Amino acid sequence: MSESTLGRDTPQVNARSKVLGRALYAGDIQLPGMLHGKVLRSPHARARIRSIDTRAARALPGVKAVVTGDDAPGTRWGVSHKDRHILAKGQVRFCGEEVAAVAAVSEDIALDALDLIRVEYEEEPALLDPELALADGAAQVHSGHDNVSHRIRYHRGDVDAALAQAAVVHEARYSTHPQYAGYLEPMATVAMLDADGRLQVWASTQSVFLARARLAAALEWPVSRIRVTAPTVGGGFGAKIIEDANTLVAALLALRAGRPVRLVNSRIEDFLGSCSSLPERIDLKLGMTREGLIVAKDVRILADCGAYSGLCAEVMHVSAMRSDNMHRLANVRCDATLAYTNNPPHGAFRGFGGTQMLFALNSHIDTMAGLLGLDPVEIHRRNAIGRGETSVHGWHIGSTGLQECMDQCTAAIGWAERRARPRGSGTLRRGVGMATAMHVSGNRTIGNWDGSTVVVKVNEDGRVVVHCAEGDMGQGAMTMLAQVVAHELDLPVDHVHVATPDTDVAPFCIGSLASRVTIVSGNAAIVAARRARDTLLEAASALLQAPAAELELAAGKIRVRADHTRIRSLAEVVRQHIWRHGGEGVHVSGTWDAQTRMFDQDLMGNIAPGYSFAAQAVEVEVDTQTGQVRLLQSFVSDDCGKALNPMAVHGQSNGAAAQAVGWTLYEQMRYENGRLVNGNFADYTMPTAESLPELRSGIVESDEPNGPHGAKGASETAILPGAAAIANAVHHAIGVRIRDLPITPEKVLAALADSGRTEPDHA
């Protein structure tokens, strides 16, 4: 029998090609006659376009196409709101918006052509504050539409009555800032018209089918005339779902030039053209009993989507609702508003809205623990929803390891000892903090399907090719699929090849988002592999002269269970299945759709087949003279149901923790009058190895009943508790609470000065 890799550390199936530099990314595609694209972007946050003169650019030798908004279809594109053109038409709404594009025989010529394009702008006052954008009489970012992009309201129970009876009520305001995704590979596309007049696109995307649908809508083409392939993707973190314009502009240039076009963002272009995470201002009020039980939660959110909505409505929905479901709550109220401004568009980011609210909620719980004289861990324990329970919004919790996550992470950093140790009054002061989180594994919100289809093809040599369009952006989806199929067919994992996502070849899939790939496509892979197994056993029945029910797969062969001397190779069986009257290859598909329920008009519904949980504990050191916060140790514990590949889970968990540290302490996109002034890695400070301690992680296996072999999503949940854990540790160290991210030295010093204290408050 082949030794299954499920539950064992397994290197990524495409790791070797990446390490050796052989992996093919979208920007590596080379085609005969290929042109190079470049984009002209607006220098203004808000302005009318009076005229665009492209004559000199078109006349430049080597330039093959110049396009403006007038050359693009009039259809607007977007997710929930269709509010954006491929290239600006008549008006620019943010600094960096795509105004024109050029395709030329070299990048240098394309850049020279951009310099020759003359745009006459009439600059207008920009709306850069969401509160001002929502004020009466504010100018409209989109003519004919007020500046409310989206609004969410709900009220469960009786919040006011519960607050009136609570022993302790605390209210505070928190604010979070946008974070750039920081992937290794910037946005990149190669597009061409093939000999049949079909649009062929190679793109760095998390979802080839969503990318195809967006291209079809924006270009006004049938989807069947468009093919999207995702070669190796160098990171996504949510930003490569369907919000950037890179692919659309490349396709438009290819159609206009009649030749292949390669459009790869430089890093500064990527900062300008891709969506950063959604900034939010959160007003949170909680009521608790003296025992720390949460009796009421009241939330108001003001979020800034920037000039275009993108996925921000969905992100804000997560901020508004998801954290409600991790506690036993009966009284919850929320009023969340998403505002249009003239800031650059924001959108999806790893954690998808959970990071914002969980920073506020975990900080709030820590504060109230101090007011009640309780350990915050104990408050989390008493309120945590349990396995088999149904939340206030109708979410059914099939599995949860949150209690075990808290045990694991607090033990790892010595929580009890470090909280109890005496604090000195010196310059350097240490503190510990903890936070918890929940996330979805799957999400029935795009439409009434949250499924996946996997095709398994057994070749004539007995090896397998898997076709699936769920994206692998480095998180290991291809490896997971190979592991699952190899396990079901009792093959070595290197006998299973997972093909790159391709809309012409792979079955329809939603893509890599909402931590859905393991639980959804993993289940579909089991269905497909078992159908392939049944087909193989039935085909082997004639060769071995035994009923299929008496046969078994064993290390690339099929044998009679009771007589191991009667055996045939898979290769023989597959050839026999083909070379006979009415024969065919072994080529089967399997589909799995979660038995979940979409939100109804009251926002009630069990939207995911599984829910993941995590907890993180950290220790920090704060320099009270400089305000510098140094992370000394971190341990994040991830409840992933069952770790199909522990190596991958640990890698993703610690990567998520590093991103959380960056968001909390280092990263900040700085703007002046709507213009980004630090759009490069020299000025945009991300955490380096030197600024991080050894990041540690643990796995809790809660055995999700709906998951493949008990698995559910990992890695996204692990980014969620980091900011609050650090903020709580800072408070424990110096007695001041930072509610406005990032936690910079300037804010720490200002808070210390305002507090008027020299000794930390450890209540």
CATH classification at residue 581 = 3.30.365.10
pLDDT score of 328: 97
Cα(379)–Cα(395) distance, rounded to whole angstroms?
Answer: 22
Is residue 3 one of the residues assigned to a domain? no
In a domain, 515, yes or no: yes
- Kindly state whether residue 365 falls inside one of the protein's structural domains: yes
For the chain, give percent helix, strand, coil, nearest 5: 30, 25, 40
312 and 286 part of one domain = yes
**Which structural domain range is residue 79 located in?**
26-124+184-235+240-273
**Same domain flag for 626 and 653:** yes
399 and 388 in one domain? yes
How wide is the angle at C-alpha 735 spanned by C-alphas 730 and 736, nearest 5°?
A: 75
Angle at 396 between CA 210 and CA 720, to 5 degrees: 60
* Pair 316, 392 in one domain: yes
Task: Specify whether 511 is located in the same domain as 560.
Answer: yes
Q: Tell me if 134 sits within 8 A of 335, measured CB to CB.
A: no
DSSP letters of 666-727? I----EETTEES--STTTS-PPPGGGS--EEEEEE----TTSGGG----SHHHHSSHHHHHH
Strand partners, 636: 616, 697
List pLDDT tens digits, range 367-387.
999 999 999 999 999 999 999
* 735 inside domain: yes
What is the β-pairing status of strands 188-193 and 551-554? unpaired
What angle do helix axes 570-578 and 522-544 make, rounded to 10 degrees?
A: 80
Same domain, 429 and 403: yes
Tally of structural domains, the chain:
3
Q: Answer whether residue 700 is part of any domain.
A: yes
The pLDDT of residue 763 is 37
Give SS3 for 77: strand
Question: Do 436 and 354 reside in the same domain of the chain?
Answer: yes
Instruction: Characterize the bridge pairing of strands 168-175 and 280-288.
Output: antiparallel
Show Cβ contacts of residue 472 under 8 Å, excluding neighbours closer than 6 positions.
14, 233, 478, 498, 501, 512
Structural domain ending residue among the three candidates 536, 571, 593: 593
In a shared domain, residues 741 and 724: yes
Give the integer Cα–Cα distance in Å for 403 and 271: 39
Residue 61: DSSP 8-state: T
User: Per the structure block, which two tokens stand in for 493?
Assistant: 């994992």
In angstroms, the CA 243 to CA 205 distance is 10
Reduced to 3 states (helix: H, G, I; strand: E, B; else coil), residue 399 is coil
Domain boundary among 560, 593, 626: 593
Give all strands of the β-sheet with 551-554 in edge-to-edge order.
551-554, 557-560, 563-569
Segments of the chain scoring below 50 in pLDDT = 757-763
* Final residue belonging to a domain, choices 593, 609, 637: 593
Q: Does some domain include residue 15?
A: no
157-204 per-position pLDDT tens digit: 999 999 999 999 999 999 999 999 999 999 999 999 999 999 999 999
Q: Is residue 528 part of a domain?
A: yes
Whether the CB-CB separation of 433 and 621 falls below 8 Å is answered with: no
In a domain, residue 16? The reply is no
Helix (H) or strand (E) holding 360: helix 354-372
Examine the domain organization and report whether 290 and 414 are in the same domain.
yes
- The CATH number of whichever domain residue 88 belongs to comes to 3.90.1170.50
Is the same domain home to 606 and 748? yes
Q: Are residues 280 and 413 in the same domain?
A: yes
Q: Cis omega before residue 345 (within 30°)?
A: no
Q: Which DSSP string do the residues of 464-505 spell out, in sequence order? A: EEEE--B--SSS-HHHHHHHHHHHHHT--GGGEEEPPPBTTT
Instruction: Give the pLDDT of residue 423.
Output: 72
CB neighbourhood size of 678 (10 A): 17
Check residue 762 and give its pLDDT.
Answer: 39
Give how far Cα 86 sits from Cα of 20, 77, 115, 584, 629, Å: 37, 8, 21, 45, 43
Q: Is 260 helix (H, G, I), strand (E, B) or coil?
A: coil
Same domain, 226 and 85: yes
With contact defined as beta carbons under 8 Å apart, do 199 and 148 qualify? no
